[in-house]
Structure 1
Amino acid sequence: MSNFLCEKKQDIDYFLKKQAIRYEIQGLARTYFVIEDKTFDHISEIKILGYFTLSQKTLNIDKGISKTKIKKLTGFSNPREKNIPVFLIGQLGKNDKFRSKISGDELIEKAHFKIKEGQEKIAGRGILVECKNIPYLRNFYEKHNYIFIDKEYKKGDLLQYLKILNPEDIIEKR
């Protein structure tokens, strides 16, 4: 992990080096590495191209969200339950040293694949990401079919985006 570098987003670098192991041990999140597809003789030869961290979260449907948006998020126009179980992509980052070897699109698709494996075993309505209000981040998540959760945000709050998982995909497999 010491060879991982993300200068643009230092919180990505900090999380991996200072918090990921503690989150693993405490059962708060799982961190997955995307490594170069080669066989290695020594662990020092492993090239971490990127990583993502997954967790579970409960998304609270605030009163400030429109009924149309609530139906889209929950599947019900007037849900009894105002909390939705979701998978959280807590971290998603590429190693600056190997930026050309993996795209952000490939990295998020690997995270989606892991989440779908988990959804087969446990329930989860969608995938939540929380990001700073930066246009390229917003565009990135919207390109991957995440829906902006339009609610009241305070200054400095992270914006929330939700990607609805298709329950029919899981039911058909059973």
Structure 2
Amino acid sequence: MKLPCFETVISQMVKNIYRYKGCRYSELEAKLVDDFKAGCFFQQDDPDYKINEFKNEIYWVSKYLKMIRLIRDGSDGLISINPEGVRFLNTQVLEESKLEDLEQLIEIRTYLNTFELKLDPIVVSYRQLTQADKGKVDRTLSSFYCSKDPDIQDFVRHKMERFDDKSICRSYLILDRENSDDENFCILGFFALALKILTVDQNKLNRKQKRDMNLLREQEGIPSYFIAQLGKNDMFKYNFKGKYLLDEAVNIVYDCIGLLGGTIVWLEANKEADSVVKFYKNNKFIELQSEMQEDGVERIQMIKYLNRE
């Protein structure tokens, strides 16, 4: 389900709090829902469900803004802009009228990028997570947002349990111990690992590639470790580096190699997603081959030889 992206909700929320010099949470929530109704975000099937999902997003946006000390709860029950947030906004907004135009709203990314949010990440398997209270687990999973890839968001929220039960893959979450509380764990990111055959055409490989892959003559498939899913939570994408997430996934693969052997970890990336492909190349993944898949998307298969580390 497509929801307004986090930056849009953050901007609208800050705009309303700044404009009215503070407001109650219920009033803020109602105003944001009305704003986005007018923007046709909910003019589709089952609008009530979408509105409830959006209210959940509003809750997490407000929670995040308090973490980075842009807004605060007052003793009078009103949410207001924090003093350091006011100082930042005053440097961005010269005229009050600018707040009326979303396109001319503050460059909120500047604040998000410069604020050093203290984090204490820990890797937890999905099975470990489910040992906690079920309500807390459900609330935690529903707090994962990935606007760039809705399939990843849907997997975390609705498919992780089924894939784990059937041993299709094993999922891991990066939780933040610093900002989690009794009600919710904070998810920084997640990844899923699987065993998968990497199919290759030896006629298209050079001698060095065959040697690096330890290929036997006529061998077309290589049993290997596959990073099936990997994504950051939108809420922390300015405070948490994707490299940490990828490194933790590869570290678990190293543990598997120590027990079972193997030399290759690989993944797939949308060929059109230049920044994603560049990110993996910067982390020593090598482009191997590409193929058009059933969903009509051409994906690059990228591999990393772990016996070189």
Q: TM-score, with normalisation over the residues of structure 1?
A: 0.84
**TM-aligned CA distance change 1:40 to 1:140, over 3 Å:** closer
4+ aligned runs moved over 4 Å, structure 1: none
**CA shift at 1:139, angstroms?**
0.7
Q: Secondary structure at the match of 1:55?
A: strand
Q: C-alpha distance in 1, partners of 2:156/2:177?
A: 21
Contact 1:130 1:160 survives alignment (8 Å): yes
Q: C-alpha distance in 2, partners of 1:150/1:72?
A: 17
Partner of 2:281: 142
Task: Say if 2:226 is the partner of 1:85.
Answer: no
**CA shift at 1:7, angstroms?**
1.1
**CA shift at 1:18, angstroms?**
2.0
**TM-aligned CA distance change 1:39 to 1:101, over 3 Å:** closer
Size of the alignment, in residue pairs?
165
For structure 2, the 5+ residue unaligned runs are: 1-140
Structure 1 residues 98-113: aligned runs within 5 Å:
98-113=236-251
Aligned-pair identity (%): 26
What's the CA shift string for 1:60-119, capped at 9, x where partnerless? 12145222353254135x645322111111111111111133111111011111111111
**CA shift at 1:122, angstroms?**
1.2
**CA shift at 1:150, angstroms?**
3.0
**CA shift at 1:156, angstroms?**
2.4
**TM-aligned CA distance change 1:64 to 1:136, over 3 Å:** farther
Partner of 1:163: 304
Contact 1:85 1:123 survives alignment (8 Å): no
**CA shift at 1:4, angstroms?**
0.7
Give the counterpart letter for 1:141 in structure 2: Y
Q: C-alpha distance in 1, partners of 2:179/2:150?
A: 30
Q: Report the structure number with the largest CA radius of gyration.
A: 2
Q: C-alpha distance in 2, partners of 1:39/1:158?
A: 36
Give the counterpart letter for 1:2 in structure 2: S
Contact 1:4 1:95 survives alignment (8 Å): yes
Partner of 1:25: 165
Task: Pick the aligned partner of 2:263 from 90, 101, 125.
Answer: 125
Q: C-alpha distance in 2, partners of 1:101/1:107?
A: 13
For structure 1, the 5+ residue unaligned runs are: 170-174
Task: Pick the aligned partner of 2:205 from 56, 63, 66.
Answer: 66
Q: Which has the higher strand share?
A: 1
Q: Secondary structure at the match of 1:45?
A: coil
Q: C-alpha distance in 1, partners of 2:287/2:212?
A: 10
Q: Secondary structure at the match of 2:301?
A: strand
What's the CA shift string for 1:112-151, capped at 9, x where partnerless? 1111111111122211101101111111111111111136
Task: Say if 2:180 is the partner of 1:45.
Answer: no
Q: Report the more deviating stretch, 118-127 or 52-61.
A: 118-127
Give the counterpart letter for 1:27 in structure 2: S
**TM-aligned CA distance change 1:161 to 1:69, over 3 Å:** farther
Q: Which has the higher helix share?
A: 2
Q: C-alpha distance in 2, partners of 1:83/1:8?
A: 32
**TM-aligned CA distance change 1:135 to 1:69, over 3 Å:** farther
Q: Report the more deviating stretch, 66-75 or 22-31.
A: 66-75
